[in-house]
Every structure is written in structure tokens, then in C-alpha cells.
Chains A and B, each alone.
Chain A
Amino acid sequence: MIWLWAALATWAGATALNVALAGSALAGRRAVRLAIPALFGATLMVLWEGAVRGLKVSPVILPPPSAIGARIAADLPLLWTDFVQTIVKGALPGYAIGCGAAVLVAVLIDRSPFLQRGLLPVGNFVAALPVVGIAPILVMWFGFDWQSKAAVVVVMVFFPVLVNMVAGLAATDRMQRDLMATWSASYWQGLAKLRLPAALPFLFNGLKIATTLALIGAIVAEFFGSPTRGMGFRISTAVGQLALDLVWAEIAVAALTGSAFYGLVALIERGLTFWHPSQRARA
């Protein structure tokens, strides 16, 4: 019981501290802005640990964070092979191919308003569909190894990026395009110097959505058949063996990878679209 009370006390204390910090004059500082969510996250961990120990929850239902941490430390090589199989071989090539193809298609159909009017509603519709459902079909076509996972990722990321890129290419206004015309810029010059840069904020919007989709696609595709390694494979077999600490270890790796991937794309975005109001407001 003492664990539970200690955790609840920590939670109350940290919340009070957070409220005080957020209300104080320090709240504008960068360090404080990072400290508040970090404190909140740490509190959640303490609460989790305390609740599991205090209420004597069986590790088969919910292992405490300390056990998960120990499992990560003990099984690093295993986690690394799964990471390579799922992320490096499955998700990343799929992400690159899918996003590249979507950008290319967007540029190609850009010259034809007819195709745009036809493809956009279809693309929007497909983007809302449960695309993961094609995973079993692609696993059948491309086999159990990483090729089928990459294919699922390609299909999953293609439409969100396409829709965003097409919207981005339409984002310049008439005045800017007229200016390019008065400089007698060719179509390709106008594309390279005005419309592609103007499309970047939209493109990155799509790319950021696609990071999560890529991980989801690669992991879920492994539920339908995979070699004996990979994060999705490990999760589904470890659940069967009730080795929940290993499942949580995989989830922690997936979460870290997902956040890092998203953060990386966001960093590149900040570097390339520094001129956009949404980036300047933050600085």
C-alpha cells in the first residue's frame, strides 16, 4: 500500500509544481517549457510503478516500468535484430519509395487539371480507407520477408502525401505566378523556384503523418506472416507466451523510433521552411 500512497503523493506534488510553474513568470523560458511535460511524463511513470506494486498487479497483466527497463537492457541484441528487420528493412525503404512516388505523381498530374479533379477525390477517399487491410494481400504477393512490409508501407504513405502535395502545388497565388510569367520563367523554372518551395509546408504535413503510418504498416503487416524476427512478429508471439515485459520493451522501442522519426522530419522541415509563418512564430 505504501507504494501506492507514495506514488499518489508524488503525483499531487508534481502536479502542484507544474501548475505553479505554468502560472509563474518563468513559463516563457525554454527550459521550463521542456521541464513541465518531462515532469508530467515522469509522474506518469511513478504512478504506474506505484500502482502496479501497491495494488499487486500481476506482471502478466501489466509489468511495472522498472521490469520493462530491465528487459530492454537484458535483450538489447534481440531488440536490435527486430529493429533492423522491421524499421530499417521494412519501414524506411517503403517510406522513401512511397513518398517519392507520391511527390512525382503530384508533379506529373499538376499539368492536367482534368487528372487533378479526377484523382483528388479518389485520393482523399482512399486516404480515409482502412488501408492496413491490404496487408494480407501484399504479404501473399511479396512473400513473408521485408519486401511485403515495404510494399504495405508504400501503399499506406502514398495517398496522404499525394493529397498534401497536390494541395501544396496549388498553394501559390495568382500574383506570384504572374510575376514568374513576367520574368518569362518556363514551366519548370516556375516549378523549381516558386511552386515547389511553396508546396514544402504542405508536403511536410503529409510526410509527418506518413512517419507514423509507415511504422504502423510495417508492424501490422508482420501479424499476417513474417520471418522469425521483427517487431510485429515478436509482439504477437510474446503476447502468446504472456511475456508482457518483452512486449512493452518492443513498444518502447517502437515509441522511441516513432518519436525520433517524427522529430527528424520536423527538424528537416524547420530547416527548409524557415520562412513560413508557423515556423517563425515559434522562434
Chain B
Amino acid sequence: MKHVLPVLTVLVAILALWYAGAVAMNGRWARDQAARAGVEIGLAEILRDTMQQERPVLPAPHQVAAEFGKTVFATKVTSKRSLVWHGWVTLSATAVGFALGSAAGILLAIGIVHSRAMDLSVMPWAIASQTVPILAIAPMVIVVLSSMGVTGLLPKAIISAWLSFFPVVVGMVKGLRAPDAMQLDQLRTWGASRAQTFWKLRLPASMPYLFASLKVSVAASLVGAIVGELPAGATAGLGARLLSGSYYGQTVMIWAALLAAAALAAALVGLIAGVERVVLRRMGMAR
């Protein structure tokens, strides 16, 4: 509980800064309008106006909250104006990509731990692949796959899988190597085969590492799915919502989509953390 008060203070400070920023950045527009209309406006009018512009430079928090509430709760879920619907499109791509990426990551890590040749040849490239700004390839992946007839969910899922596989590889390699020499020797004295060592020692020992990297990679795969929606005129998903908002200057819409993306990220990370807590407790590894 000792964290609640400081966190609340910081959040309140952010909100206050946000309101101040809204007044400062939207004030010019309000003054310009007044000058054009030939009226003198005082501070009170400026304050009132900056809080309720239709296309503000920086929408005030309550405007974003209102738009978020309207598009999430007051709109039918099946409607194209509903953020829930857009969020669902993004979430499904994220989920498929996350599943593909983490499965590939775990398999690759198992290969790396068991084959020295693979460790020496693949690992440097896995690291190098992450210094590549992979999101830059996103538009191309989408266009190429759609020219081969693959459209919809899968191209986005591939991008998000690519982003999410690396944290899993690194974490899982570390985890599978976590058992120390004493434990490995113990299994050898019991005449355990490699498969038995893997199932009974390495895999259980890797669980805390696996979950730590899954939390990173689920956030990364959400980023991948959103960026995958940017190019090629996607019409559905939070990324498409960001793009059309920026085309039409609908700042409130962008901020509401951002808020939805943040909520989604928090929910996904929270979900993994919940699974982690249950699994580690059942395994007797909870800290």
C-alpha cells in the first residue's frame, strides 16, 4: 500500500500538467478565433474554450475520456465506430502473433541449449535481427503477403510474432541454462536421459524466466500488430484508427485509440502476470 500514495501523486501531477498543456497549446487557436471575430476575450473565456474545442492541438483529459467512454460503452460492439471492435481486431492479431512468436522462441531456445552448433551460429543472428528496425519491414510484409493472396489477420500476426520471438529466445535460453552444475550432475548420477533432464529439470527451472520474457513479448507483439495496421490502407484496428485520426485531424480520436491501446497492453501484461502467479505457486516457486 505504500506505493499507492506516490503513484497517485504522480498521476495527479501528470493530469495537472496535461490540463496546463491543453490550455497553453489550444490557447492560440482560441485567441485567433476571437481576434478574427473582433472580440476581446479574457482569461476565463480562453480557459473555457480550450477545454472544449472540436479539434484541439492537445485534447483535455476529460474530452479523451468522454470520447473513450462514448466509443467503448455507448456504441454497439459490432459498429465500426466502436473502439471495442477495433480493439478486438488488433487483439486477435496480437494473440495469434504472440502465440506463434513465443512458440517459435521456445523451440529455438530448446535447439540452442541442446546443440552447440546452433548456439554458435544462430544466437549472434538472433541478436543481430533485433538491431534491425523490424517495424520498417512491416509495410513490405503486408504488401508482399497480400500480393500472394494472404490478407487479413495473418500478415499482422507475422509482424507481431517477429517482434515477440526475441525476448522469449533470450529469456528461455537463460532459463534452460539456469540449473547449476550440481543439479545436472545429480540427474546424471540417476542415469537420466537428455529428454528426462529436459522435462524434469531444465523446463521447470526455466519457468520464472519464461514468464518474465512473455510479459515483455506480449507488449512487443501488441506494438507489432498496431504498426502492422498502419500501411496498406487497413480499415480496422487501433492502428488504422490512429492513421485515419491523423489524416482527418481528429486528435480526440487518436488519443482515445491510444488510451485503448494502453488499456489493452496493461490488460495483456496483467493477464500474463496472473497466469505466472498461479503457475509458479502451483510449482512451489512463488517468491
Contact = CB atoms under 8 A, between A and B. Distances in A.
Interface of B is mostly: helix
Given A121-B3, A239-B231, A254 B133 contact: yes
Given A61-B147, A216-B135, A232-B136, A130 B120 contact: no
Nearest to A128: B219
A22 B223 contact: no
Interface string B210-254: 000001100100110011001110000010001101100101001
A19 B117 contact: yes
Contacts of B140: 235, 239, 244, 247-248, 251
A114 B137 CA distance: 42
B131 A262 contact: yes
B255 interface: yes
Nearest to A137: B254
B133 A215 contact: yes
Contact of B223 (A122, A130, A140): A130
A236 to B, nearest CB: 5
Interface in B125-158: 125, 128, 130-137, 139-140, 143-144, 147-148
Nearest to B255: A137
Sort chain A's interface into a size bin. Answer: 35 or more
A23 B120 CA distance: 10
A36 B120 CA distance: 6
Interface in A7-22: 15, 18-19, 21-22
Contact of B6 (A118, A132, A134, A219): A118
B132 A140 contact: no
A62 interface: yes
B191 to A, nearest CB: 24
Contacts, number: 171
A122 B11 contact: yes
B7 interface: yes
B42 interface: no
A16 to B, nearest CB: 9
A18 B119 CA distance: 11
A251 B245 CA distance: 28
A21 B117 CA distance: 8
Interface stretch (B32-40, B194-202, B260-268): B260-268
B93 interface: no
A133 B10 contact: no
B9 interface: yes
Contacts of B128: 255, 259
Interface string A191-213: 00000000000000000000110
Contacts of A219: 133, 135-136
B245 A117 contact: no
A231 B139 CA distance: 13
B120 A117 contact: no
Interface string B59-99: 00000000000000000000000000000000000000000
Given A40-B121, A125-B266, A23 B116 contact: yes
A122 B116 contact: no
Contacts of A244: 140, 144
Contacts of A44: 125
A239 B121 contact: no
B245 A136 contact: yes
Contacts of B125: 37, 40-41, 44
A61 B261 contact: no
Contacts of B2: 117
A60 interface: yes
B176 interface: no
A220 B139 CA distance: 10
B133 A129 contact: no
A274 interface: no
B57 A129 contact: no
A119 B13 CA distance: 11
22 contacts: A21-B120, A37-B122, A37-B125, A39-B121, A61-B144, A61-B148, A116-B6, A118-B3, A118-B7, A119-B6, A122-B11, A132-B227, A133-B254, A137-B255, A215-B133, A216-B133, A244-B140, A251-B132, A251-B140, A254-B132, A255-B131, A255-B133
Given A118-B10, A125-B266, A255-B132, 18 more contacts: A37-B122, A37-B124, A40-B125, A114-B9, A115-B10, A121-B7, A122-B14, A129-B262, A132-B135, A133-B254, A133-B258, A134-B258, A140-B251, A212-B132, A219-B136, A223-B230, A223-B231, A239-B232
In the complex, the 9 A-B pairs of residues with the closest C-beta atoms, listed nearest first: A118-B6, A136-B246, A40-B121, A118-B10, A22-B117, A258-B131, A215-B133, A37-B124, A117-B6
